[in-house]
Chains A and B, each alone.
Chain A
Amino acid sequence: MTAVIASFAQVTMVVLGAPLLVGVMRQVRARMEGRVGAGVWQPWRDLRKLFRRQPITPVGTTWAFRTAPLVLVGTTLVVAATIPLLTTTTALDRAADLFAVVGLLSVGTVVLALAALDTGTAFGGMGASREMTVLALVEPTILVAVFALSARVGSTNLGQLVDATLHNPLQVMSPASLLAAAALLVVTIAETGRLPVDNPSTHLELTMLHEAMVLEYSGADLGLIELAASMRLTLLLGLVASLFTPWGIATSLAGLPLALLAFAAKVTVLAMVLAAAEVLLAKLRLFRVPELLAGSLVLALLAATTSFFLA
C-alpha cells in the first residue's frame, strides 16, 4: 500500500512539476541574458492553451502519427512510477530494473521518430535520422554508466542501487561514481535535446533534432509531446540526483513530504546549473555531437573499469 501511494505521489509530482522545472530553466536563462522572462508558470500556460486547441493530423498520415504522443506520454508515466525518486521501494520496484527503464525511454524516442517518418516531410525524416544517431550512442552510455554503479551492489535494480548509496554515502566520492555521474549528465543533456547538442528554443531547420520531429504536431497532441519532453527531462535529472545524492529519499510513508521537498530542491538546483551553463555554451556542430557522445561513452567505460578494479 505504501509503495502504491509513493508511486502515485511520484507520478503526480513529475506531471505537475515538470513544466515548472522547464519554466525555472527558461527564467534562469532569461535573467542571465538580461531579459525579464515570462515567469516560471509560462510552460503551464502554453500547455493549457495547447490542450484547448484541436489537433490536426496531416493528410496521408497513419496510426503511427496519431498514437505516438500517447505512447510517449504513457511510457514516460510508467518510468515516473517505477524509478526511485521519492522512495526506494516503488510499487513497480521489481520492474525498476535498469534495462527496463532505459528500454521504456527508448520506446518513446523510437515511436516519435516513427511518427516523424510517417509525416513524409523532409524535416521529419531528417530529425528522425539525427535522433536515432544520438540514441545509438546515448543508450549504451546509460547502460555502461549504471553498470559501473551496479558492479558494486551486485544488482541492476535502481531501488537497490539508491539504497546501497544511502547506507554508504561515501561511495559517491569513488572515482567510478564520479565518472559515471559525468557520463550520465552528458547523456541527459543529449537525450533531452538541450544545448550544446540541440537548442530547445529555436526552429532553425538546419540544426534541429527534437523539434524537427514534432514539427507537424499541433494542438493537444503537441501539448502531450511538450509535456512528455519536460517530464523526461525531470525524470533523467531526478535519476541522476537519486543515484548520486540520495539524501532525503523516503524509506517510509512519513518521510514522503520531506522526500518531496528534498527532491524538488535537488532537481531545481541541477536544472538551474544546467540552464546557467547553457547561457555560456554555443550549440555544437551536428558532426561534432558524436564526438561529445563518444566522450561520454568513454567516461562510462572508464567508470565501469575503475569500479571493477578499484573495488
Chain B
Amino acid sequence: MIDHIQALHLAAGVFLLTAVGALWRRQLPAKVRLLVVQGVALAAMIGIIGAQRADLELLAVALGLGVLRAGVMPALIRRALVPLPQEQRETRPVVDVATSLLAAALLTLLAYAVTRPLVALDPTPITAVLPVAVAVVLIGFFTLTTRRRALSQMVGFLLLDNGITATAFLAAGGIPLVVEVGVSFDVLLIVLVLQMLTRRLRATVGTTDLNELRELRD
C-alpha cells in the first residue's frame, strides 16, 4: 500500500505538473481541463493530511474545496468560453511558450530557494511539499501577467489561488473552517465578476484580448 507521505507527494507532483501544463497549452479548453485535475489534486492533498490526522473538519474542507475548485469554477470558465468560439486559443502570449516554460523552471527553483528556511523550521514530510505550493503560486502569477486573453488570465488567477490555498494548508497545517469558507466564497465571487466582465468586454469591444484596450471611453 502507498502510505500517506507517498500519496501526498504524488498529489503534489500532479499539482505542480498541471500548473506547468496550463502554462504550456495554448488551447483554453485544455487549460480548463488541467484546472479540474489541479483542483482534484489540491483536494487530495488536503484530504490526505486530514486522513492522516483523522481530522473530520479537514476532510470536510477537502471535499468542499474539491467541489469548488474542480467542479464549480472550471464550469464557470467553461460557460464563459462557450459564446467565444473564435477565442479558444491563446494565440500571441506576451512571453512566448518556450520562454515561459523556462521561466517556470526558474520560478520553481526560486520557490525552492525561498522556502528552504521555512521548511527548516519544522522539517516534516508535509512541510517538504511547501516549495511545490509556492512554485504554483509563482507560476500562476506568471500566467496571470503574461497571457493576453481575459479567460487565460482567469485560469492564471485560479492557479495562483490554488497555490495560496495549498501553501496555507501545508505551512500552517490547516486554517479555521470559517476562514477557508470565507476565502473560497471570495474567490468564487471574483470568478463570477470576472466572467461577467469578460462577457461585457466581448459585447462592447468585440474581443477579450486585453491589449486591445488602449483608451478610456464613456
Contact = CB atoms under 8 A, between A and B. Distances in A.
A in complex with B: yes
A291 B98 CA distance: 5
A295 B109 contact: no
A113 to B, nearest CB: 23
Interface stretch (A176-184, A202-210, A274-282): A176-184
Interface in A226-254: none
A170 interface: yes
Q: Which of B16, B101, B104, B129 has the most CB of A within 10 A?
A: B101
Interface residues of B, number: 25
A176 B98 CA distance: 22
A305 interface: yes
Nearest to A176: B13
**Most-contacted residue by chain A among B12, B17, B97, B98 (CB, 10 A):** B98
B141 interface: no
B105 interface: yes
Contacts of B2: 170, 173
A178 B101 contact: no
A295 B13 contact: no
Contacts of A175: 9-10, 12-14, 16-17, 132
B6 interface: yes
Nearest to B104: A298
Given A174-B9, A290-B98, A298-B20, A310 B105 contact: no
A174 B12 CA distance: 9
Interface in B13-41: 13-14, 16-17, 20, 24
- Chain A contact residues: helix, strand, loop or mixed: helix
Contact of B13 (A179, A291, A294): A179
Nearest to A290: B98
Contacts of B17: 175, 178-179, 182, 299, 302
B108 A305 contact: yes
B128 interface: yes
A301 interface: yes
Interface string A278-298: 000000000000110011011
A141 to B, nearest CB: 12
Contacts of A179: 13, 16-17
Contacts of B129: 310
Interface string B76-109: 0000000000000000000011100110110011
Nearest to B129: A310
Contact of A310 (B24, B97, B128): B128
30 contacts: A170-B2, A174-B9, A174-B10, A174-B13, A175-B17, A175-B132, A176-B13, A178-B10, A178-B13, A179-B17, A290-B98, A294-B97, A294-B98, A294-B102, A295-B98, A298-B102, A298-B104, A298-B105, A302-B17, A302-B105, A302-B108, A305-B108, A305-B109, A305-B112, A306-B13, A309-B112, A310-B12, A310-B128, A310-B129, A310-B132
| CB-based closest 5 A-B pairs | A175-B13, A294-B98, A298-B101, A291-B98, A298-B105
Interface of A: 170, 173-176, 178-179, 182, 290-291, 294-295, 297-299, 301-302, 305-306, 309-310
Given A302-B17, A309-B112, A310-B128, 13 more contacts: A173-B2, A174-B6, A175-B16, A178-B13, A291-B96, A291-B98, A291-B101, A294-B101, A297-B101, A301-B108, A302-B108, A305-B112, A306-B16
